[in-house]
Amino acid sequence: MKTTVIKTTDLCKSFANNGGQNHILDMVNLEIFQGDFTVIMGPSGAGKSTLLYALSGMDKPTGGEVYYREQAISRLGEREMAALRANEFGFIFQQAHLVSNLTLLENVVVTGYLNKQRTAQEVRVRAEKLLEQMHVEGAMNRLPSQVSGGEAQRAAIARAIMNEPGMVFADEPTGALNKHNTQEVLKLLTELNAAGQNILMVTHDIKAAVRATRLLYLEDGRIIGEMPLPPYRSEDARSREKQVDAWLSSMEW
């Protein structure tokens, strides 16, 4: 049996709109499992980012509940919530969002300091090791303005996994990258998942979606379809693309 990492019950999110309510998430009941590289697809405006923000505690739902390993996150106080985000969640966005006056290494190190378990020396050693693993060791002493978009995004991945999070949330992490850097980033995410890292990624890109072990389709604030996939192997890339393409067609994507 699979272990549940995140679970939602009747999750709703609505925004006030011209005196009425816009229902963006509409009673979402969802489980995200240990070991999975879960990918959420769906049309623009479907509520994918809104769902990610609700699941990661960045935004409060207007109804229902989100559980992280059986802990109802709405019951957490500000301080507990901050600790959960710092220690258990990693984030990757379309833009790297690195702190502009810190080097790549310092960006990763600062995140490490949020976790009280490691000494400053341990944080530094781990940050350097992760930047090596992400193939940006040559750029780690440069500022974000002095590196390429691909390098910045790989540093952002290092930062996301610095504190060994229980879940990495990625919202279109390859959306601003060229073809080569997209494949680099996807390869790194796939390797991390193969090593046990739980990942929840939103994407519009079939080439990114094929990396999933589980695909979910969100439309009008509801999960309307899902498909499991075996762990990614590059030799299966073509056949997976066809499979995902056919599945998306069946969803009228």
Ligand X SMILES: Nc1ncnc2c1ncn2[C@@H]1O[C@H](COP(=O)(O)OP(=O)(O)OP(=O)(O)O)[C@@H](O)[C@H]1O
- Give CA–CA dist 234/55, Å, rounded: 30
44 binds ligand X (CB under 6 A): yes
- Give CA–CA dist 248/253, Å, rounded: 5
Give the DSSP letter string of 220-245. TTEEEEEEE-PPP-GGGHHHHHHHHH
- Give CA–CA dist 253/101, Å, rounded: 41
* Closest distance to Mg ion from the beta carbon of 175 (Å): 9
Q: Which of 11, 24, 30, 73 binds ligand X (CB under 6 A)?
A: 24
Q: Which of 7, 23, 41, 49 binds ligand X (CB under 6 A)?
A: 49
Q: Which of 38, 49, 163, 198 binds Mg ion (CB under 5 A)?
A: 49
- Give CA–CA dist 73/155, Å, rounded: 29
Please report how many Cα atoms fall inside a 13 Å half-sphere around the Cα of residue 174, on the Cβ side.
Answer: 22
Interface stretch with Mg ion, choices 47-55, 88-96, 104-112, 113-121 (CB under 5 A): 47-55
103 binds Mg ion (CB under 5 A): no
15 contact choice in ligand X, Mg ion, none (CB below 5 to 8 Å, kind-dependent): ligand X
- Which parts of 60-99 interact with ligand X (CB under 6 A)? none
Which residues make beta-bridge pairs with 170?
92, 201
* Closest distance to ligand X from the beta carbon of 50 (Å): 3
| Alpha-helical segments (H) within the chain | 48-55, 78-88, 104-113, 120-133, 149-161, 179-194, 206-209, 237-250
* Closest distance to ligand X from the beta carbon of 169 (Å): 13
46 contact choice in ligand X, Mg ion, none (CB below 5 to 8 Å, kind-dependent): ligand X
* Closest distance to ligand X from the beta carbon of 26 (Å): 11
Interface stretch with ligand X, choices 39-47, 95-103, 119-127, 237-245 (CB under 6 A): 39-47
Q: In what order do the strands lie in the sheet with 167-171?
A: 89-92, 167-171, 199-202, 37-41, 214-219, 222-228
- Give CA–CA dist 125/119, Å, rounded: 10
| Radius of gyration of the chain, Cα coordinates, nearest whole angstrom | 18
47 contact choice in Mg ion, ligand X, none (CB below 5 to 8 Å, kind-dependent): ligand X
Q: x/- contact string, 189-218, with Mg ion (CB under 5 A)?
A: ------------------------------
Which CB atom, from 175 or from 231, has the smaller least distance to ligand X? 175
174 binds Mg ion (CB under 5 A): no
Q: Which of 7, 12, 36, 47 binds ligand X (CB under 6 A)?
A: 47
Q: Which residues bind Mg ion (CB under 5 A)?
A: 49
Q: Which residues bind ligand X (CB under 6 A)?
A: 15, 22, 24, 42, 44-50
